[in-house]
Structure 1
Amino acid sequence: MDGSPGYQVALIIAVGTVAMLLLSVAIIMFMVFYQKKMIQEQMKRQQLELDYQQKMMEAALESQENERRRVAGDLHDSIGGMLSTIRVGLSTLARQIPDPESIEQPKQMLDDTIASVRQISRDLMPSTLEKFGLVQAVREICDRFQATSLLPVVFHEEGDVPALDPKKELMIFRIIQELINNAIKHSQATSIQVSIYSTQNLRIEVEDDGVGFEIEVQRNVTHSGKGLGLFNIENRVRLLNAHLDFEPHRKKGSKITLTIPHEALV
Protein backbone atom coordinates (compact mmCIF):
# COMPACT_ATOMS: atom_id res chain seq x y z
CA MET A 1 0.00 0.00 0.00
CA ASP A 2 2.79 2.38 0.99
CA GLY A 3 4.70 1.59 -2.17
CA SER A 4 1.82 2.21 -4.54
CA PRO A 5 2.29 4.73 -7.35
CA GLY A 6 -0.48 6.96 -5.98
CA TYR A 7 1.21 7.23 -2.60
CA GLN A 8 4.55 8.04 -4.19
CA VAL A 9 2.97 10.74 -6.31
CA ALA A 10 1.25 12.20 -3.26
CA LEU A 11 4.51 12.12 -1.31
CA ILE A 12 6.36 13.84 -4.14
CA ILE A 13 3.64 16.51 -4.34
CA ALA A 14 3.73 17.02 -0.55
CA VAL A 15 7.52 17.26 -0.49
CA GLY A 16 7.45 19.60 -3.50
CA THR A 17 4.80 21.78 -1.87
CA VAL A 18 6.80 22.01 1.36
CA ALA A 19 9.93 22.81 -0.62
CA MET A 20 8.10 25.52 -2.58
CA LEU A 21 6.74 26.98 0.64
CA LEU A 22 10.20 26.97 2.20
CA LEU A 23 11.64 28.55 -0.95
CA SER A 24 8.89 31.18 -0.96
CA VAL A 25 9.51 31.96 2.71
CA ALA A 26 13.25 32.20 2.00
CA ILE A 27 12.66 34.56 -0.95
CA ILE A 28 10.29 36.73 1.12
CA MET A 29 12.77 36.84 4.02
CA PHE A 30 15.58 37.71 1.59
CA MET A 31 13.50 40.52 0.03
CA VAL A 32 12.54 41.88 3.46
CA PHE A 33 16.17 41.73 4.61
CA TYR A 34 17.37 43.28 1.34
CA GLN A 35 14.83 46.12 1.52
CA LYS A 36 15.69 46.73 5.16
CA LYS A 37 19.37 46.81 4.26
CA MET A 38 18.68 49.22 1.38
CA ILE A 39 16.64 51.49 3.67
CA GLN A 40 19.42 51.43 6.26
CA GLU A 41 22.01 52.27 3.60
CA GLN A 42 19.83 55.09 2.28
CA MET A 43 19.33 56.48 5.77
CA LYS A 44 23.07 56.21 6.38
CA ARG A 45 23.80 58.11 3.17
CA GLN A 46 21.24 60.77 4.06
CA GLN A 47 22.75 61.11 7.53
CA LEU A 48 26.24 61.43 6.02
CA GLU A 49 24.93 64.11 3.65
CA LEU A 50 23.27 65.95 6.55
CA ASP A 51 26.44 65.70 8.63
CA TYR A 52 28.47 67.00 5.69
CA GLN A 53 26.06 69.90 5.09
CA GLN A 54 26.10 70.74 8.80
CA LYS A 55 29.90 70.74 8.89
CA MET A 56 29.97 72.93 5.78
CA MET A 57 27.51 75.37 7.39
CA GLU A 58 29.54 75.39 10.60
CA ALA A 59 32.74 76.02 8.64
CA ALA A 60 31.13 78.83 6.62
CA LEU A 61 29.72 80.55 9.71
CA GLU A 62 32.96 80.09 11.63
CA SER A 63 34.83 81.61 8.70
CA GLN A 64 32.46 84.60 8.83
CA GLU A 65 33.07 85.03 12.55
CA ASN A 66 36.85 84.76 12.12
CA GLU A 67 36.73 87.43 9.42
CA ARG A 68 34.55 89.66 11.60
CA ARG A 69 37.01 89.18 14.46
CA ARG A 70 39.94 90.08 12.20
CA VAL A 71 38.23 93.18 10.76
CA ALA A 72 37.08 94.28 14.24
CA GLY A 73 40.66 93.98 15.50
CA ASP A 74 42.02 95.94 12.53
CA LEU A 75 39.44 98.67 13.02
CA HIS A 76 40.05 98.96 16.74
CA ASP A 77 43.84 98.60 16.82
CA SER A 78 45.07 99.93 13.48
CA ILE A 79 42.54 102.44 12.17
CA GLY A 80 41.30 103.44 15.63
CA GLY A 81 44.88 103.94 16.79
CA MET A 82 45.80 106.08 13.78
CA LEU A 83 42.69 108.25 14.19
CA SER A 84 43.46 108.74 17.89
CA THR A 85 47.01 109.79 17.00
CA ILE A 86 45.64 112.32 14.51
CA ARG A 87 43.27 113.61 17.22
CA VAL A 88 46.21 114.19 19.58
CA GLY A 89 48.06 115.97 16.76
CA LEU A 90 45.11 118.27 16.15
CA SER A 91 44.87 119.11 19.86
CA THR A 92 48.58 119.94 19.90
CA LEU A 93 48.21 122.06 16.77
CA ALA A 94 45.26 123.94 18.30
CA ARG A 95 47.55 125.20 21.09
CA GLN A 96 50.10 126.49 18.58
CA ILE A 97 47.99 128.44 16.09
CA PRO A 98 46.51 131.94 16.56
CA ASP A 99 42.94 130.80 15.87
CA PRO A 100 42.35 127.38 17.54
CA GLU A 101 38.61 127.65 16.89
CA SER A 102 39.29 127.15 13.18
CA ILE A 103 40.01 123.46 13.68
CA GLU A 104 37.15 122.73 16.09
CA GLN A 105 34.92 121.43 13.28
CA PRO A 106 37.58 119.02 11.93
CA LYS A 107 38.20 117.84 15.51
CA GLN A 108 34.48 117.18 16.00
CA MET A 109 34.28 115.30 12.69
CA LEU A 110 37.30 113.24 13.74
CA ASP A 111 35.70 112.48 17.13
CA ASP A 112 32.54 111.31 15.34
CA THR A 113 34.63 109.12 13.03
CA ILE A 114 36.48 107.54 15.98
CA ALA A 115 33.14 106.85 17.70
CA SER A 116 31.77 105.27 14.49
CA VAL A 117 34.83 103.05 14.09
CA ARG A 118 34.50 101.86 17.70
CA GLN A 119 30.79 101.23 17.17
CA ILE A 120 31.40 99.17 14.02
CA SER A 121 34.13 97.22 15.81
CA ARG A 122 31.76 96.40 18.71
CA ASP A 123 29.02 95.35 16.27
CA LEU A 124 31.40 93.03 14.45
CA MET A 125 32.68 91.35 17.61
CA PRO A 126 30.60 92.05 20.74
CA SER A 127 32.96 92.01 23.72
CA THR A 128 29.98 92.23 26.09
CA LEU A 129 28.84 88.79 24.95
CA GLU A 130 32.16 87.20 25.91
CA LYS A 131 32.42 89.06 29.22
CA PHE A 132 28.85 89.18 30.52
CA GLY A 133 26.77 86.71 28.49
CA LEU A 134 23.77 86.71 26.16
CA VAL A 135 21.22 88.73 28.16
CA GLN A 136 23.51 91.68 28.80
CA ALA A 137 24.76 91.63 25.19
CA VAL A 138 21.20 91.68 23.81
CA ARG A 139 20.24 94.46 26.22
CA GLU A 140 23.23 96.48 25.01
CA ILE A 141 22.53 95.92 21.33
CA CYS A 142 18.89 96.99 21.82
CA ASP A 143 20.11 100.24 23.39
CA ARG A 144 22.59 100.70 20.56
CA PHE A 145 20.01 100.10 17.81
CA GLN A 146 17.67 102.53 19.57
CA ALA A 147 20.38 105.20 19.75
CA THR A 148 21.34 104.90 16.08
CA SER A 149 17.84 104.45 14.58
CA LEU A 150 15.93 106.76 16.99
CA LEU A 151 13.37 103.92 17.14
CA PRO A 152 12.26 102.50 20.51
CA VAL A 153 13.80 99.02 20.88
CA VAL A 154 12.46 97.62 24.17
CA PHE A 155 14.17 94.69 25.87
CA HIS A 156 12.33 92.30 28.20
CA GLU A 157 13.50 89.16 30.00
CA GLU A 158 11.90 86.49 32.19
CA GLY A 159 13.64 83.62 33.92
CA ASP A 160 17.31 82.81 34.36
CA VAL A 161 19.21 82.03 31.18
CA PRO A 162 21.64 79.17 31.93
CA ALA A 163 25.31 79.16 31.01
CA LEU A 164 25.58 78.55 27.27
CA ASP A 165 28.15 77.03 24.98
CA PRO A 166 30.11 80.05 23.63
CA LYS A 167 29.69 79.12 19.95
CA LYS A 168 25.95 78.55 20.36
CA GLU A 169 25.61 81.74 22.39
CA LEU A 170 27.24 83.67 19.55
CA MET A 171 24.89 82.06 16.99
CA ILE A 172 21.86 83.08 19.07
CA PHE A 173 23.20 86.62 19.38
CA ARG A 174 23.74 86.86 15.60
CA ILE A 175 20.18 85.68 14.95
CA ILE A 176 18.76 88.33 17.29
CA GLN A 177 21.04 91.00 15.81
CA GLU A 178 19.90 90.19 12.27
CA LEU A 179 16.20 90.05 13.23
CA ILE A 180 16.37 93.49 14.87
CA ASN A 181 18.31 94.86 11.90
CA ASN A 182 15.69 93.49 9.46
CA ALA A 183 12.85 95.00 11.51
CA ILE A 184 14.51 98.42 11.52
CA LYS A 185 15.33 98.36 7.79
CA HIS A 186 12.20 96.76 6.31
CA SER A 187 9.21 96.81 8.66
CA GLN A 188 8.52 100.59 8.81
CA ALA A 189 7.83 100.02 12.49
CA THR A 190 7.48 102.69 15.15
CA SER A 191 8.62 100.34 17.94
CA ILE A 192 10.33 96.97 18.37
CA GLN A 193 10.30 94.64 21.35
CA VAL A 194 12.87 91.91 22.03
CA SER A 195 11.97 89.36 24.70
CA ILE A 196 13.93 86.45 26.19
CA TYR A 197 12.04 83.79 28.18
CA SER A 198 13.86 80.97 29.94
CA THR A 199 11.40 78.24 31.01
CA GLN A 200 11.35 74.65 29.74
CA ASN A 201 13.01 76.04 26.60
CA LEU A 202 14.85 79.21 25.74
CA ARG A 203 12.39 81.35 23.78
CA ILE A 204 13.29 84.60 22.05
CA GLU A 205 10.69 86.87 20.45
CA VAL A 206 11.30 89.85 18.16
CA GLU A 207 8.09 91.78 17.61
CA ASP A 208 7.35 95.00 15.72
CA ASP A 209 4.30 97.10 14.82
CA GLY A 210 5.27 97.64 11.19
CA VAL A 211 3.83 96.50 7.85
CA GLY A 212 4.69 92.80 8.17
CA PHE A 213 6.32 90.76 5.43
CA GLU A 214 5.93 87.73 3.17
CA ILE A 215 8.33 84.99 4.27
CA GLU A 216 8.42 83.34 0.83
CA VAL A 217 9.21 86.68 -0.80
CA GLN A 218 12.09 87.10 1.63
CA ARG A 219 13.35 83.61 0.78
CA ASN A 220 13.15 84.38 -2.93
CA VAL A 221 15.14 87.57 -2.36
CA THR A 222 17.79 85.51 -0.57
CA HIS A 223 17.88 82.86 -3.30
CA SER A 224 18.27 85.54 -5.97
CA GLY A 225 21.48 86.64 -4.28
CA LYS A 226 20.18 90.03 -3.11
CA GLY A 227 20.37 89.25 0.58
CA LEU A 228 21.90 86.71 2.94
CA GLY A 229 20.19 87.73 6.19
CA LEU A 230 17.42 85.13 6.23
CA PHE A 231 19.74 82.47 4.78
CA ASN A 232 22.25 82.94 7.61
CA ILE A 233 19.46 83.05 10.21
CA GLU A 234 17.95 79.75 9.06
CA ASN A 235 21.37 78.10 8.84
CA ARG A 236 22.13 79.08 12.42
CA VAL A 237 18.69 77.85 13.53
CA ARG A 238 19.39 74.44 11.97
CA LEU A 239 22.79 74.20 13.65
CA LEU A 240 21.15 74.98 17.00
CA ASN A 241 18.47 72.27 16.47
CA ALA A 242 16.03 75.10 17.13
CA HIS A 243 12.72 76.20 15.63
CA LEU A 244 11.93 79.55 14.04
CA ASP A 245 8.28 80.55 13.85
CA PHE A 246 7.13 83.46 11.67
CA GLU A 247 3.89 85.34 12.31
CA PRO A 248 3.94 87.86 9.44
CA HIS A 249 0.18 88.36 9.00
CA ARG A 250 -0.90 89.74 12.34
CA LYS A 251 -3.34 92.66 12.68
CA LYS A 252 -0.32 94.93 12.88
CA GLY A 253 3.33 94.16 12.43
CA SER A 254 5.10 90.84 12.68
CA LYS A 255 6.44 88.51 15.33
CA ILE A 256 9.30 86.04 14.99
CA THR A 257 9.89 83.44 17.71
CA LEU A 258 13.08 81.42 18.15
CA THR A 259 12.66 78.36 20.38
CA ILE A 260 15.71 76.38 21.53
CA PRO A 261 15.53 73.27 23.74
CA HIS A 262 17.74 73.66 26.82
CA GLU A 263 19.51 70.38 26.03
CA ALA A 264 20.68 71.88 22.72
CA LEU A 265 22.39 74.79 24.48
CA VAL A 266 25.16 72.94 26.32
Structure 2
Amino acid sequence: MEEESNQIIFILFSGAFLAALMATFVVSMVILHRQRQVQNKQKMDQIKAEYEKTILNIENEIQQDTLKHIGRELHDNIGQLLSLSKLYLASSKPEKQSEGKQLINQIISEVRGLSKTLNLDWVESISLEEFISQQLDKIKSTGFCEVELQKEGENWALDKDQKLVLIRVIQECLNNAIKHASPSFIRISMTEQDGKRKIQIMDDGKGFDTSLSSQGSGMTNLRKRMETIGGHFEINSSPGQGTDIILSLPI
Protein backbone atom coordinates (compact mmCIF):
# COMPACT_ATOMS: atom_id res chain seq x y z
CA MET A 1 0.00 0.00 0.00
CA GLU A 2 2.80 2.35 0.93
CA GLU A 3 4.58 1.47 -2.30
CA GLU A 4 1.50 2.34 -4.35
CA SER A 5 1.19 5.64 -2.44
CA ASN A 6 4.79 6.47 -3.23
CA GLN A 7 4.20 5.70 -6.90
CA ILE A 8 1.16 7.99 -6.96
CA ILE A 9 3.13 10.77 -5.27
CA PHE A 10 5.96 10.26 -7.76
CA ILE A 11 3.56 10.40 -10.68
CA LEU A 12 1.96 13.57 -9.30
CA PHE A 13 5.30 15.25 -8.77
CA SER A 14 6.48 14.15 -12.20
CA GLY A 15 3.31 15.52 -13.79
CA ALA A 16 3.66 18.77 -11.91
CA PHE A 17 7.31 19.03 -12.94
CA LEU A 18 6.50 18.34 -16.59
CA ALA A 19 3.62 20.84 -16.48
CA ALA A 20 5.94 23.47 -14.99
CA LEU A 21 8.56 22.63 -17.60
CA MET A 22 6.03 22.98 -20.41
CA ALA A 23 4.73 26.25 -18.95
CA THR A 24 8.29 27.58 -18.74
CA PHE A 25 8.92 26.52 -22.33
CA VAL A 26 5.72 28.21 -23.57
CA VAL A 27 6.47 31.42 -21.65
CA SER A 28 10.04 31.41 -23.00
CA MET A 29 8.79 30.97 -26.56
CA VAL A 30 6.28 33.82 -26.12
CA ILE A 31 8.99 36.12 -24.72
CA LEU A 32 11.41 35.13 -27.52
CA HIS A 33 8.71 35.73 -30.14
CA ARG A 34 7.96 39.17 -28.71
CA GLN A 35 11.65 40.04 -28.60
CA ARG A 36 11.98 39.05 -32.25
CA GLN A 37 8.93 41.15 -33.11
CA VAL A 38 10.51 44.14 -31.37
CA GLN A 39 13.84 43.52 -33.14
CA ASN A 40 12.13 43.17 -36.51
CA LYS A 41 10.17 46.36 -35.92
CA GLN A 42 13.35 48.20 -34.94
CA LYS A 43 15.09 46.86 -38.05
CA MET A 44 12.17 47.91 -40.27
CA ASP A 45 12.12 51.36 -38.65
CA GLN A 46 15.87 51.66 -39.28
CA ILE A 47 15.49 50.61 -42.94
CA LYS A 48 12.62 53.07 -43.36
CA ALA A 49 14.65 55.88 -41.76
CA GLU A 50 17.65 55.14 -44.02
CA TYR A 51 15.36 55.05 -47.06
CA GLU A 52 13.76 58.40 -46.19
CA LYS A 53 17.19 59.90 -45.46
CA THR A 54 18.50 58.68 -48.82
CA ILE A 55 15.54 60.12 -50.71
CA LEU A 56 15.85 63.44 -48.83
CA ASN A 57 19.58 63.63 -49.60
CA ILE A 58 18.94 62.94 -53.28
CA GLU A 59 16.21 65.59 -53.42
CA ASN A 60 18.58 68.11 -51.80
CA GLU A 61 21.38 67.22 -54.21
CA ILE A 62 19.14 67.60 -57.25
CA GLN A 63 17.80 70.90 -55.91
CA GLN A 64 21.36 72.16 -55.36
CA ASP A 65 22.28 71.18 -58.93
CA THR A 66 19.13 72.91 -60.15
CA LEU A 67 20.03 76.10 -58.28
CA LYS A 68 23.55 76.02 -59.75
CA HIS A 69 22.04 75.60 -63.22
CA ILE A 70 19.67 78.50 -62.63
CA GLY A 71 22.54 80.65 -61.38
CA ARG A 72 24.54 79.95 -64.54
CA GLU A 73 21.50 80.62 -66.75
CA LEU A 74 20.77 83.90 -64.98
CA HIS A 75 24.38 85.03 -65.30
CA ASP A 76 25.30 83.75 -68.75
CA ASN A 77 22.03 83.70 -70.65
CA ILE A 78 19.36 85.93 -69.15
CA GLY A 79 21.89 88.51 -68.01
CA GLN A 80 23.19 88.83 -71.56
CA LEU A 81 19.66 89.05 -72.99
CA LEU A 82 18.77 91.81 -70.52
CA SER A 83 21.88 93.80 -71.49
CA LEU A 84 21.06 93.46 -75.18
CA SER A 85 17.41 94.38 -74.68
CA LYS A 86 18.47 97.46 -72.70
CA LEU A 87 20.69 98.60 -75.57
CA TYR A 88 18.00 97.96 -78.19
CA LEU A 89 15.24 99.69 -76.24
CA ALA A 90 17.49 102.72 -75.67
CA SER A 91 17.98 103.07 -79.43
CA SER A 92 16.05 105.70 -81.35
CA LYS A 93 15.59 103.29 -84.26
CA PRO A 94 12.15 101.62 -84.34
CA GLU A 95 13.56 98.32 -85.62
CA LYS A 96 16.02 98.14 -82.73
CA GLN A 97 13.24 98.88 -80.23
CA SER A 98 11.19 96.11 -81.83
CA GLU A 99 14.10 93.70 -81.41
CA GLY A 100 14.37 94.80 -77.79
CA LYS A 101 10.69 93.95 -77.18
CA GLN A 102 11.20 90.53 -78.77
CA LEU A 103 14.14 89.93 -76.44
CA ILE A 104 11.96 90.87 -73.45
CA ASN A 105 9.42 88.24 -74.51
CA GLN A 106 12.23 85.72 -74.84
CA ILE A 107 13.48 86.62 -71.36
CA ILE A 108 9.99 86.12 -69.90
CA SER A 109 9.83 82.69 -71.53
CA GLU A 110 13.28 81.75 -70.22
CA VAL A 111 12.40 82.83 -66.66
CA ARG A 112 9.16 80.84 -66.75
CA GLY A 113 11.10 77.79 -67.88
CA LEU A 114 13.59 78.22 -65.04
CA SER A 115 10.84 78.67 -62.45
CA LYS A 116 9.46 75.23 -63.33
CA THR A 117 12.76 73.62 -62.34
CA LEU A 118 12.78 75.10 -58.82
CA ASN A 119 10.76 72.17 -57.47
CA LEU A 120 10.85 68.46 -58.19
CA ASP A 121 7.51 68.26 -59.99
CA TRP A 122 9.43 67.74 -63.20
CA VAL A 123 10.49 64.31 -61.92
CA GLU A 124 6.89 63.11 -62.13
CA SER A 125 6.26 64.79 -65.48
CA ILE A 126 9.21 63.21 -67.31
CA SER A 127 9.87 59.57 -68.10
CA LEU A 128 13.21 57.98 -67.28
CA GLU A 129 13.86 57.47 -71.00
CA GLU A 130 13.25 61.18 -71.67
CA PHE A 131 15.61 62.15 -68.85
CA ILE A 132 18.38 59.86 -70.11
CA SER A 133 17.87 61.13 -73.67
CA GLN A 134 18.18 64.74 -72.47
CA GLN A 135 21.39 63.97 -70.56
CA LEU A 136 22.97 62.24 -73.54
CA ASP A 137 21.90 65.05 -75.89
CA LYS A 138 23.60 67.58 -73.60
CA ILE A 139 26.81 65.57 -73.67
CA LYS A 140 26.71 65.22 -77.45
CA SER A 141 25.91 68.90 -78.02
CA THR A 142 29.17 69.86 -76.29
CA GLY A 143 31.11 67.73 -78.76
CA PHE A 144 32.59 65.76 -75.85
CA CYS A 145 31.83 62.33 -77.30
CA GLU A 146 29.34 60.28 -79.28
CA VAL A 147 26.33 58.83 -77.46
CA GLU A 148 23.64 56.21 -77.99
CA LEU A 149 20.41 55.25 -76.22
CA GLN A 150 18.80 51.83 -76.67
CA LYS A 151 15.49 50.78 -75.12
CA GLU A 152 13.50 47.54 -74.97
CA GLY A 153 10.03 47.25 -73.44
CA GLU A 154 7.30 49.85 -73.31
CA ASN A 155 6.11 49.93 -69.70
CA TRP A 156 8.79 51.58 -67.59
CA ALA A 157 6.39 53.08 -65.06
CA LEU A 158 8.28 54.02 -61.87
CA ASP A 159 7.18 55.79 -58.73
CA LYS A 160 8.73 59.15 -57.89
CA ASP A 161 11.22 57.82 -55.32
CA GLN A 162 12.51 55.09 -57.62
CA LYS A 163 12.88 57.59 -60.43
CA LEU A 164 14.69 60.07 -58.15
CA VAL A 165 17.26 57.48 -57.12
CA LEU A 166 17.81 56.25 -60.68
CA ILE A 167 18.12 59.81 -61.99
CA ARG A 168 20.76 60.66 -59.40
CA VAL A 169 22.71 57.43 -59.86
CA ILE A 170 22.69 57.84 -63.65
CA GLN A 171 23.81 61.46 -63.30
CA GLU A 172 26.69 60.40 -61.07
CA CYS A 173 27.74 57.65 -63.49
CA LEU A 174 27.72 60.06 -66.44
CA ASN A 175 29.56 62.74 -64.45
CA ASN A 176 32.24 60.22 -63.48
CA ALA A 177 32.64 59.21 -67.13
CA ILE A 178 32.98 62.85 -68.22
CA LYS A 179 35.39 63.82 -65.42
CA HIS A 180 37.64 60.79 -65.33
CA ALA A 181 37.18 58.42 -68.28
CA SER A 182 37.67 60.66 -71.36
CA PRO A 183 35.55 58.33 -73.52
CA SER A 184 34.86 58.70 -77.22
CA PHE A 185 31.55 56.88 -76.87
CA ILE A 186 28.88 56.42 -74.18
CA ARG A 187 25.93 54.07 -74.57
CA ILE A 188 22.96 53.58 -72.24
CA SER A 189 20.60 50.68 -72.77
CA MET A 190 17.26 50.03 -71.05
CA THR A 191 16.14 46.39 -71.09
CA GLU A 192 13.76 44.01 -69.34
CA GLN A 193 15.09 40.57 -68.54
CA ASP A 194 14.33 37.82 -65.98
CA GLY A 195 11.71 39.90 -64.20
CA LYS A 196 14.04 42.87 -63.85
CA ARG A 197 14.51 46.25 -65.46
CA LYS A 198 18.14 46.85 -66.31
CA ILE A 199 19.96 50.05 -67.20
CA GLN A 200 23.44 49.55 -68.62
CA ILE A 201 25.84 52.49 -68.81
CA MET A 202 28.88 51.71 -70.92
CA ASP A 203 31.81 53.87 -71.99
CA ASP A 204 35.02 53.11 -73.87
CA GLY A 205 37.15 55.39 -71.72
CA LYS A 206 40.21 54.92 -69.54
CA GLY A 207 38.60 52.58 -67.05
CA PHE A 208 39.95 52.16 -63.52
CA ASP A 209 40.77 49.68 -60.79
CA THR A 210 37.51 49.16 -58.87
CA SER A 211 39.43 47.84 -55.85
CA LEU A 212 41.04 51.21 -55.12
CA SER A 213 39.59 52.84 -52.00
CA SER A 214 39.37 56.25 -53.69
CA GLN A 215 37.02 54.74 -56.26
CA GLY A 216 35.35 52.23 -53.95
CA SER A 217 33.79 54.81 -51.64
CA GLY A 218 31.90 56.46 -54.48
CA MET A 219 30.77 53.13 -55.87
CA THR A 220 29.64 52.03 -52.39
CA ASN A 221 27.46 55.12 -52.10
CA LEU A 222 25.81 54.40 -55.47
CA ARG A 223 25.34 50.76 -54.49
CA LYS A 224 23.63 51.71 -51.21
CA ARG A 225 21.32 54.11 -53.03
CA MET A 226 20.18 51.38 -55.37
CA GLU A 227 19.61 49.06 -52.41
CA THR A 228 17.21 51.56 -50.80
CA ILE A 229 14.77 51.00 -53.69
CA GLY A 230 15.32 47.24 -53.80
CA GLY A 231 17.76 47.50 -56.70
CA HIS A 232 21.27 46.33 -57.45
CA PHE A 233 24.42 48.12 -58.62
CA GLU A 234 27.13 46.28 -60.52
CA ILE A 235 30.29 47.71 -62.04
CA ASN A 236 32.98 46.15 -64.20
CA SER A 237 36.06 48.15 -65.16
CA SER A 238 39.81 47.90 -65.48
CA PRO A 239 42.50 50.33 -66.67
CA GLY A 240 42.34 50.83 -70.42
CA GLN A 241 39.21 48.69 -70.83
CA GLY A 242 36.40 51.19 -70.30
CA THR A 243 33.62 50.90 -67.74
CA ASP A 244 30.39 48.89 -67.72
CA ILE A 245 27.74 49.66 -65.08
CA ILE A 246 24.47 47.78 -64.66
CA LEU A 247 21.58 49.09 -62.55
CA SER A 248 18.84 46.52 -62.01
CA LEU A 249 15.43 46.87 -60.38
CA PRO A 250 12.72 44.21 -59.91
CA ILE A 251 9.61 44.81 -62.03
TM-score tier by shorter-chain length is: 0.7 to 0.9
Which amino acid letter does the alignment assign opposite residue 15 of structure 2? V
Partner residue in 2 for 1:203: 198
SS at match of 1:213: coil
Counterpart contact for 2:66–2:117, Cα < 8 Å: no
**Structure 2: distance between partners of 1:22 and 1:171:** 56
Larger deviation: 206-215 or 70-79? 70-79
Pairing 1:175–2:169 present: yes
Which amino acid letter does the alignment assign opposite residue 242 of structure 1? G
Counterpart contact for 1:72–1:125, Cα < 8 Å: no
**Structure 2: distance between partners of 1:127 and 1:58:** 15
What CA RMSD, in Å, does the superposition of the two structures yield over aligned residues?
Answer: 3.8
How far did residue 256 of structure 1 move?
Answer: 0.8
**Structure 2: distance between partners of 1:170 and 1:53:** 15
1:30-88 Cα shifts (integer Å, max 9, x gaps)? 22222222122111111111112222222222233344444545554677433211133
Partner residue in 2 for 1:58: 55
SS at match of 1:260: strand
**Structure 2: distance between partners of 1:193 and 1:126:** 27
**Structure 1: distance between partners of 2:237 and 2:90:** 56
Counterpart contact for 2:177–2:203, Cα < 8 Å: yes
**Structure 1: distance between partners of 2:204 and 2:119:** 29
SS at match of 1:189: coil
Summarize the alignment of residues 109-128 of structure 1 with structure 2, pairs less than 5 Å apart. Answer: none
**Structure 1: distance between partners of 2:59 and 2:51:** 12
Q: 1:145 aligns with which of 139, 146, 164?
A: 139
Partner residue in 2 for 1:106: none
How far did residue 28 of structure 1 move?
Answer: 1.9
Summarize the alignment of residues 152-163 of structure 1 with structure 2, pairs less than 5 Å apart. Answer: 152-163=146-157
Partner residue in 2 for 1:109: none
Partner residue in 2 for 1:191: 185
Larger deviation: 17-26 or 86-95? 86-95
Partner residue in 2 for 1:105: none
1:130-165 Cα shifts (integer Å, max 9, x gaps)? 655221221221121133252222222222143333
1:225-250 Cα shifts (integer Å, max 9, x gaps)? xxxx6466345413322111122359
Counterpart contact for 1:149–1:184, Cα < 8 Å: no
Pairing 1:261–2:250 present: yes
**Structure 2: distance between partners of 1:251 and 1:150:** 19
The unaligned stretches of length 5 or more in structure 1 are 97-113, 224-228
**Structure 1: distance between partners of 2:121 and 2:41:** 41
Aligned in 2, Cα 1:237/1:149: closer, same or farther, shift over 3 Å? farther
Larger deviation: 197-206 or 232-241? 232-241
Partner residue in 2 for 1:252: 241
SS at match of 1:160: coil
Task: State the aligned residue count.
Answer: 232
**Structure 1: distance between partners of 2:182 and 2:73:** 33
Aligned in 2, Cα 1:128/1:66: closer, same or farther, shift over 3 Å? closer
Normalising by structure 1, what TM-score? 0.70
Summarize the alignment of residues 1-16 of structure 1 with structure 2, pairs less than 5 Å apart. Answer: 4-16=1-13
Counterpart contact for 2:231–2:248, Cα < 8 Å: yes
Partner residue in 1 for 2:99: none
Which amino acid letter does the alignment assign opposite residue 148 of structure 1? T
Aligned in 2, Cα 1:165/1:212: closer, same or farther, shift over 3 Å? same
Partner residue in 2 for 1:38: 35
How far did residue 90 of structure 1 move?
Answer: 5.5
Partner residue in 1 for 2:102: none
Counterpart contact for 1:207–1:254, Cα < 8 Å: yes
